[in-house]
Structure 1
Amino acid sequence: MTYDGPGVFRAPIANSAAQENFQRTVRDGIAAERIERFTDRTLDNDPVRLWGTKQSIEGTWNNIEAGDFLLFYRDGTYEYAAKVLGTERNEPLAKDVWPNYEEGSPWLCVIYLDEPVELGVDSSEVHGLAGYDIDYPMGFSPLNEMGIGGLRGKYGSIESFVYGDRTEDDSAVEQTRSDTTTARIDVDSQPEFELPDSILDGLHFPSGEDHEDRVTELLGELEDALNAGKHIILTGPPGTGKTEIARRVAGYLAEAETDFYTGYQTTTATADWSTFETVGGYMPSEEGGDDLSFEPGQVLHCFKRDEQQRNDLLVIDEINRSDIDKSFGQLFTLLSGQGISLPFTREGSQIDIRPGSETEKSDLPPHQYLMPSSWRIFATMNSYDKTSLYEMSYAFMRRFAFVYVDAPTVPEDDDARRQLVRTYADVWDLDVADDLVAAIGDVWFVMNNAADERKIGPAIVRDMLSHVRGTPPAQRDRVVTQAVLSYVFPQLEGVRKREAVIARLAEIDAIDSSRLRSVASDVLQVRPDG
């Protein structure tokens, strides 16, 4: 189960030639009559707008699909966005419309675009949501999953981010919504949570496991937990769609329950987290010097922004990576619905967080935050991190409901197993040869049967299929082996039976057993027999 919406690709306008090309072929467009001389493609627009990439990054270009978006970057800003209509590898066309290419490096990977939209978004906003350390793109590249999730959390969808109304001021869609809704947010109570099956549309559950019943059952478990006043931790094998489910549920509630919610935020926990990331702490003031001022963390940002009351749901991916007591210790009391005072001050007053049901609804002073009764955390963790689970204090765990998202059963029968993988490949629109489907299916079966504590879900299978598709028969064993090393080996860290898993993987016909054992010895410190 994975995100099935549009992808986002960052396209830097890196020099004067690229700027000229952008103005001429994206903003102005090229007459359809001229383009038709070089392509058999049906052209629905006139003028035709297009962008291109060099052959050296064809691998990235191959992942672009109709409906995705390009964000055009220049001088610290994503200035424009354009929806992708299609792609075509066409060197004669590229040389005609972009004659100013570097010697030997024409933009032969063509991207057809819809009319560009003026965006004007500071790159630090986008890159901050993605967790990038730099505020400029390193060449033509996709925005990572965390960045896409962050944009969806802040704006509701990628389409809203691109097409939201920014004509009257420079504020983003999320802030516009905040201005119009905060005055009527219900902070005293919570809605009667009802989650329709349509929330998980596009997330594939194998038909053999009764798709509709499993979707209804899973959403029913989430409903029950929410109505019981619990926060939620989705747990299960890696790649089963836990993060996507959390984002979809949070996004649905933010859109459907506008009397209660103003949006949702996403973040990924790390081992370095402390209460500074969750609650906040002192930072040097903007005026400089030795003065320090209190800056709110992830949780407090959900309650107030720009001195306006909010109620943003919080999605925390891989919460077990953090030291729970160190990161959330000050919040244990708050998560049980009681107010707390923090060891920080703002304008001379101690920072207070109060439950919505116990607070006057007049304008809050800068030092006070109000936690709405309906606020929730949706967190995820991999089920094989059982040690981390039991290291969580009971005080923390009892404030959450744990909802399990299992991996599908991988059939022992060869034909049934290949049909399962083929079904997933079709859902993901991946054209993969039968022998490669069979090989990846064999890998999946071994992983989900040789070591119960380290099953893998469909998302990791998708990564492997994407890695091997298009591989010529002569290269099959090398590429399949590399896919296992890249996507499966990281899941074997700490597995007690990993020697047996590697031994069984080495028996698969499409695996280079010598290469597999060599890397297993170096990376996992195991020496399987064989």
Structure 2
Amino acid sequence: MASPVKTYRGNRASDVDAMFNEIARSLDARSEDESNESTNRGLLEDKQVVEPLSELIGIDPSVYRQINAALKAGSRHIMFYGPPGTGKTTIAQRVAGEISEQWKLITGSSDFTSQDVLGGYIPLADGKLKFFPGVLLENFDRPLIFDELNRCDIDKVIGPLFSVLSGQSTVLPYLSDPNDPESSRVEIRPKGTSNPPASYSPSSKWMIIATINSIDKASLYQMSYALTRRFAWIYVAEPSDADAFLREYLSRDLASEIPATSRSPLAEVWSAINDVRPIGAAPIIDVIRYVLGEVDGFDFFAPTDEEGLSMPLLDALSVYVFPMLDGILRDESDSLRDKIADALKLSQDARMLLSSRLIQLSI
């Protein structure tokens, strides 16, 4: 909403004083905007490098290279996307922590509305209304991690921020005082001074860091191309070498001695699954912990036999991994059944059980 044009009469001393005061306020605001812009540039240009996380194994070095390049280039908003279980949220938390010690994480939900995220009217006990800021405006002074962003109607809940993400102001359809029809509308500015509830402006440390699971990308809410290009998109893939990941994880976290030559049957299964539908390391780590809880000292690099060692792995895969394969094609199901059965050396009965489970997941 454009501000009304003000006129001043030069023959009135009061109008002349008011005019000069208005000019002074405008110059002060411009100076503050330039100061904030300089602060934003300094935050990104002087940013220390986001180092690889030691607790995350198998992350491609390009992920950290792209993070640092995006920050240095001035990108204010980052989207991490890829298969589930690859460490996207953990990386997002590290980036947010490097920007500010104070950051906020929320998880997307289909129940989210624009009021939840940006704000809206809420009735008070006396029957009056008041504008309350949503979670985003409440955290305009820090990085906001929006985990699983596509679980909410993205353009609907953050669409009004499009102008702000583009470096422009926007006006919300709310009065700063809903009980006064002459009050100004709530305004969101890309930079400047906040004056709640009439106006809100992000600090130099505010940024949106979002995550999306690529498996869900087609089945959940989509993001418009216009909003998409306001983010730097960084793909976080599954480990490229399943066997190398298992060797490093088991030797480091479980202090297990790994034979140099043998290949883990679990790595063969994981690789076969990734050919159909990539998944990250987190579900595989759950499989390892499940098996170790069932069989003390289980050797993940020993050949599985038909009697005892294959079934704990098959049970764990059924509990943690197979549900993530829902919707695979029937020919993919048949191919995957054969590869898993061969890798685990399943008995005929176990093979039939596996086949039935995968058929149930296929379409």
**TM-score, scaled to structure 2:** 0.73
Letter in 2 for 1:244: T
Task: Identify the match of residue 394 of structure 1 among 225, 233, 236.
Answer: 225
2:273 is the alignment partner of 1:447: yes
2:275 is the alignment partner of 1:422: no
Where does the alignment leave 5 or more consecutive residues of structure 1 unmatched? 1-185, 207-213, 256-262, 304-310, 412-416
Q: Distance in 1 between matches of 2:148 and 2:268?
A: 28
Where does the alignment leave 5 or more consecutive residues of structure 2 unmatched? 1-34, 299-306
Q: Distance in 1 between matches of 2:280 and 2:186?
A: 43
Residues 334, 340 of structure 1: 8 Å contact kept: yes
Residues 225, 231 of structure 1: 8 Å contact kept: no
**How far did 1:486 drift?**
2.0
Q: Distance in 2 between matches of 1:371 and 1:493?
A: 41
- Name the CA shift for 1:420/1:342 in 2 (closer, same or farther; >3 Å): closer
Q: Secondary structure at the match of 1:442?
A: helix
Residues 199, 252 of structure 1: 8 Å contact kept: no
- Name the CA shift for 1:482/1:395 in 2 (closer, same or farther; >3 Å): same
- Name the CA shift for 1:193/1:463 in 2 (closer, same or farther; >3 Å): farther
Letter in 2 for 1:300: L
Q: Secondary structure at the match of 1:196?
A: coil
Counterparts in 2 of 1:215-294, with a 5 A limit? 215=61, 217-226=62-71, 227-255=73-101, 263-285=102-124, 287=125, 290-294=127-131
- Name the CA shift for 1:271/1:442 in 2 (closer, same or farther; >3 Å): same
Q: Secondary structure at the match of 1:508?
A: helix
* Other-structure match for 1:438: 264
CA offsets, 1:219-248, max 9 Å, x none?
A: 231123233334111112222111111100
* Other-structure match for 2:311: 478
Residues 480, 510 of structure 1: 8 Å contact kept: no
Residues 142, 205 of structure 2: 8 Å contact kept: no
Residues 58, 239 of structure 2: 8 Å contact kept: yes
Residues 355, 373 of structure 1: 8 Å contact kept: no
Q: Secondary structure at the match of 2:58?
A: coil
Task: Identify the match of residue 338 of structure 1 among 162, 165, 168.
Answer: 168
Letter in 2 for 1:220: R
Residues 246, 378 of structure 1: 8 Å contact kept: yes
* Other-structure match for 1:321: 151
Letter in 1 for 2:264: A
**How far did 1:291 drift?**
4.0
Letter in 2 for 1:517: S
Residues 148, 213 of structure 2: 8 Å contact kept: yes
Residues 151, 221 of structure 2: 8 Å contact kept: no
Letter in 2 for 1:518: S
Q: Secondary structure at the match of 1:240?
A: coil
CA offsets, 1:236-264, max 9 Å, x none?
A: 22221111111001111214xxxxxxx21
Residues 122, 130 of structure 2: 8 Å contact kept: yes
Q: Distance in 2 between matches of 1:495 and 1:200?
A: 33
- Bigger Rg, which one: 2
Q: Distance in 1 between matches of 2:119 and 2:338?
A: 48
Q: By percentage of residues, which structure has more strand?
A: 1
* Other-structure match for 1:95: none
Letter in 2 for 1:427: R
Counterparts in 2 of 1:66-85, with a 5 A limit? none
**How far did 1:277 drift?**
2.6
Q: Distance in 2 between matches of 1:296 and 1:502?
A: 52
CA offsets, 1:170-223, max 9 Å, x none?
A: xxxxxxxxxxxxxxxx743311153435352332238xxxxxxx53x4323112
- Name the CA shift for 1:279/1:489 in 2 (closer, same or farther; >3 Å): same
Task: Identify the match of residue 196 of structure 1 among 36, 49, 58.
Answer: 49
2:338 is the alignment partner of 1:515: no
Q: Distance in 1 between matches of 2:156 and 2:77?
A: 19
Q: Distance in 1 between matches of 2:264 and 2:142?
A: 44
Residues 432, 469 of structure 1: 8 Å contact kept: no
* Other-structure match for 2:280: 457
Count of residues paired in the alignment: 302
Letter in 1 for 2:270: W
Letter in 2 for 1:448: N
Higher normalized contact order (CA 8 Å, seq sep 6+, divided by chain length):
2
2:339 is the alignment partner of 1:504: yes
- Runs (4+) off by over 4 Å: 430-434
- Name the CA shift for 1:401/1:221 in 2 (closer, same or farther; >3 Å): same
2:289 is the alignment partner of 1:466: yes
Q: Distance in 2 between matches of 1:313 and 1:233?
A: 13
Letter in 2 for 1:459: A
**How far did 1:342 drift?**
1.1
**How far did 1:525 drift?**
4.5
- Name the CA shift for 1:519/1:388 in 2 (closer, same or farther; >3 Å): closer
Q: Secondary structure at the match of 2:64?
A: helix
CA offsets, 1:333-392, max 9 Å, x none?
A: 121121111122343442211122xx3x4x724332112355211111123345369942
- Name the CA shift for 1:265/1:508 in 2 (closer, same or farther; >3 Å): same
- Name the CA shift for 1:234/1:219 in 2 (closer, same or farther; >3 Å): same
Task: Please tell me the root mean square deviation across aligned C-alpha atoms, in Å.
Answer: 3.1
Q: Secondary structure at the match of 2:106?
A: strand
Q: Distance in 2 between matches of 1:404 and 1:329?
A: 23
CA offsets, 1:19-44, max 9 Å, x none?
A: xxxxxxxxxxxxxxxxxxxxxxxxxx
**How far did 1:330 drift?**
1.4
* Other-structure match for 2:23: none
